[in-house]
Amino acid sequence: MELMPDQIHPAERLLNLVIALVNTSARMTKEQIRRSVAGYADAPSDDAFERMFERDKDTLRDLGIPVLTVTGAGHGDDIGYRIDQEAYALPPVDLTAAELGVLSLASEFWQDKSVRSDTERALTKLRAVGDAPEASDLVAGLAPRVRAAGGAFGPLLDAVHARQAVRFTYRAASTGEVRERVVEPWKLLARRGGWFLVGHDRDRDAPRSFRLSRIEGKVRTVGSPGAFPEPDAARLGSALHSWTAGEERIATLAIRPERAEALRVRAVRTPATTPDDVDLDDPRVAAVLTERDVVRIPFTALWDLAEEIVGYGDAVVVLAPAPLRATVLRLLRTAAALVTRGADHG
């Protein structure tokens, strides 16, 4: 239904009602609500107002907002309404410095422009009631490297909740092939420095994962909401296992001090030996090792780790294995060529 220019949106009317019922000193009668709460004057008749108000009252209660019915002391038919503030109000927020630091770290995952402002406002409010405004200093340098999901994130998140299939153009990592995919979206995950969609690929008739940064163009919905059932735990678990399964290898990296903490925390203890394809007699290798820490991390997906490492720039140098080093160099050369091409056309 299209609203007239001078009409108030139902959601705004609900908010106005909540504000009025929270701030009333005792109660508000229907007459007072119709007269003083913005939005109810739009009702063309008494019956229309009654229906509007009863619908709004039921909606608030469905949302968990305790709207109480209060009768007058002298007359049982003198009815008013208010919100039970004790039941509605949140308990005092008492965050320690460490807890606020963890929340600050978690918020770094949500740097996509669609939700960035919301997380920043929430953290500002939490810092105001935390033990120390500088609590986020506890996690300085520990921010996880998760790239922004881009324009695909919002439509995919809506499709996951609506259980609605989506269509998008996808560029494969290994071959560079670009083709259209139709997918039943199951879950969005932050893994290995980026956002991934796990779902059922209708063309392949099998579970697949898709990195959001490789989706080109817009994500469009296909068919109606509720078109497929939510995957049960066993099916989703099997899909996630097949996605992460593979031969585990060890990457040997040279990392600048106090950099790339998201890689460092995944480090494993291995014998203090030099990888077979690292030549310590090479002056270039020796120069790198004098200024960096040697860190070994396990991985299964070479391309995904390469993309993550590239995000750290010159802070991380790959010592081994050779295929990982070659992939990182190829990505860096591609990025440099794009920058040069942009400068030439600037």
Tell me what pLDDT residue 255 has. Answer: 92
**pLDDT (tens digit per residue) in 267-324:** 887 654 555 556 667 777 777 788 888 889 988 778 778 888 888 888 999 988 888 9
Its CATH class, for the domain covering 150-244, is mainly beta
The amino acid that residue 320 corresponds to is A
> What is the CATH T-level fold of the domain 10-88, as seen in this structure?
Arc Repressor Mutant, subunit A (1.10.10)
The amino acid that residue 269 corresponds to is R
Instruction: Find tokens 């989706």 and name the residue.
Output: 215
Cβ atoms of 130 and 95 within 8 Å: the answer is: yes
Burial class (CB in 10 A: 0-12, 13-18, 19+), 86: exposed
Cα four-point dihedral sign 230, 234, 235, 241: positive
Tell me what pLDDT residue 109 has. Answer: 55
Q: How far apart are CA 133 and CA 136, in angstroms?
A: 8
Q: How far apart are CA 304 and CA 315, in angstroms?
A: 18
Q: 299: which residues sit within 8 A by CB, 6+ positions away?
A: 248, 249, 250, 251, 305, 324
Tell me what pLDDT residue 2 has. Answer: 45
Tell me what pLDDT residue 77 has. Answer: 65
Q: How far apart are CA 182 and CA 167, in angstroms?
A: 5
Q: How far apart are CA 146 and CA 111, in angstroms?
A: 8
Mean pLDDT, consecutive 10-residue stretches, the chain (346 aa), reads 58 87 85 89 88 91 86 70 77 64 58 56 57 46 53 88 94 78 89 78 88 90 92 76 69 89 83 56 77 87 82 88 88 78 59
| Domain-wise residue ranges, the chain | 10-88, 97-139, 150-244, 249-341
Tell me what pLDDT residue 137 has. Answer: 46
* Strand-pair category, 165-171 with 178-191: antiparallel
